[in-house]
Structure 1
Amino acid sequence: MIKLEHIILTKAEKSSDYFNKLKVVIQANYTKEISSTTPAMNPFTQQKVFRLFEIKGSFDENFLRNLLSGNFSNIINKYQVVHNYFLTCSLVYFSSFNIKDELKYRGLVDNRPNREAIRKEYVSTYDSSWTDILIQNSHPSFEKSEKAFNALIKDVKSKLTELNIGIGRILNYDMIKKFNNLRHVLLNHMGVEVCPYCNRQYITNYNYENEPKSTADVDHFYPKSIFTLFSLSLFNFVPSCQLCNSRFKSDKGIDILFPYEKGFSEDVRFKMMGGSVDSILGHDTEFELTLDVNGSAPHLRKLENSIRMFRHTETYQSHKNTVRELLFKNQAYNRTLQGDLQNLLKDMGLEQLSKRELNLFQFGYTLDPQDFGQRPLSKLVYDIYLQVQKHASYR
């Protein structure tokens, strides 16, 4: 998984005039909701839903701007109402975890006290003032059994669905369709060229009949069906390939790395395992590709979940030929030949190649982590190259 820089969202927002376009529609819906004889209510607070968008009784434009184009962490910390909303949505979204798997992962005995402890810990992780009263009044013993826990989640989900229907009357993803080609314009200005989830598939931005187009899916990292308030938030838009978005990730409630915050970086490295001397020389693919995970990484669980969700271990086996080619070229084009190339260019009166350019000439990749998002399989090639160089240094 490759980290995405925040600057691509800032660029997309400004270039597309995203905020100003949507503000007109959202503010009109807000005004309509105010005048409604049956305005939507927030069942957690018993307040009218349109109050979410207000400050001191008036439409809060700054809140909307932060919601549409601000950093998630900032807006969740800045606005208590968003903080409560996010925790409530998360309580529902991640609740499908398997308690037996959780016990096994933690190395705990599968008994009643441990089951109850995990349920209590889970709910406390996403506890908020919105759910406190509901738990105290209707589900005080939610941790006692799976049935009681599911009853709590069902109750919260029912109220959240009601709230999201109300929010949807003011703000929802379909509003982007009111503006011709806005989705494609955003994707083009983001400039993401390779799926950040898998680093295997190109995302193609192109022009057709003088209109920007893109082959990318817009993955709502936090599903719009549950996190409706974030359905138009740019920080919730992850340009991705269709396979990762629709087949692997979908709306599964699994806590994975958020591409705008973390990538695999050095905490996960591809490694070549097994094989013979011929494999090392790039003559065959009789080896396995594995992922070596830093066991002390602070976000270890998310790393492991990301690897499992996108089937990285399994899908990358189909790219052994790319590794074989790398290994072959590494043997065929040694440092001496690189020096000969530089001398040849010098004799021809041409500029010397930089290290990045030499790598690009030799391997087809710059081997620069900053370029991982520019070409599929860049992370794989980089990691295997480092492994080969490390091995060579010990020979």
Structure 2
Amino acid sequence: MTSTAARTALDLTADLPVTDLEDLYRDLHRHPELSLREHRTAGKLAGRLRDAGFETAEGVGGTGVVGRLRNGDGPTVLLRADMDALPVAEATGLPYASRTAGVMHACGHDLHVTWLTGAAEALAAGRAAWTGTLLVVGQPAEETGQGAARMIADGMYERFGRPDVLLGQHAAPGPAGLYPHAPGLIMSASTDVDIVVHGRRGHGSRPEATVDPVVTAAYLVTRLQTVVSREIAAGEAAVLTVGRVEAGTRHNIIPAEARIALNLRTRSEEVRQRMLAAIRRIAQGECLAAGCPREPEVTVGDSFPMTVNHAGTDAAVAAVHGEVFGAGTVFDPGPAMGSEDFPVLALGTIPYSYWFVTTTPPGVWEQAPGDTFPEKFSAVPSNHSPHFAPDPATVLPGVRTLVSGALAFLSVA
């Protein structure tokens, strides 16, 4: 038997202006903006919210947008979408590809904003069917891990009210039409680490008069690969990625320093601390072995918390999604190694549900090499790829996931 929330969600989205929303998605994709520069995107979202009847504020936490729709007594539900793009040169060949050189919506945040816009408009138009308060948040700077914290620091909850529940979703690779949920841990923590190796500058023809930080950095990069493989138990999940190595200015100059940028993905604070200790120890050891004139500088930078769904909250959303989209569309994929700053909005106490919406076009999925789901999943363009191109046909389903999720908590007539 279909719940009232599911039936109401289908009713409120039955006449959704899908073509208009798909046009909005393509427009946002053409005009990506980097973190804390999302002025045009924020303006588009804010304008649509005002037109739908929301009290709307811009500039929250920098470039964030908050819309509030008070509709009688009932819970306060917050729907969130992130707005920023990435410094990635697009290679999709789409007719609506990015017009900003070197910047692309390679993570689907343009789709997130579109989903949020459609859900806000549908719920506003159908406010006779529910009571409560709806908060709609367009968050900046998710990619840098700054946006949620900046909005909280700017007094978002003091100004607009503290929600009773938070809901969010993310575009993901996979055959369009699936809605993965996890009742607990769904995304990992992320930690950036920067290492500076100090050497002694000199002429490339006289290496004996120098201490070469490039060679030391090369040994360090190789040795760091043993942190996960030899220091983390096989039953634990962890990733260490060297994302950047920089050194030198000329072919024949041995530089004074080399810089290494790392990213860690962990699912427990214990493993995170163990990895950080190993990185410091290995960096010091390699620099000592090389005779570096100074100890290395190891700096812990930006970090994202683990995303851990409140089991009861996520179960309620997963149930209504199963009713709206049918049997087999909702499943538990287990935790991903990706990371989010969405949990920052929870302040450690507000229950939340965060889920995925698969967006790979059917043709792309069918043509991907491999016979199993994992093989195809690894073969199709994923988030942060210059080829990542979600199917615009997922606009309507992504709106319905948010609308039905909100109605699972709002008071439905």
TM value normalised by structure 1? 0.20
More relative contact order, 1 or 2 (CA 8 Å, 6+ apart)? 2
When Rg is computed on C-alpha atoms for both structures, the one with the higher figure is 1
**Per residue, is there more strand in 1 or in 2?**
2
**Per residue, is there more helix in 1 or in 2?**
1
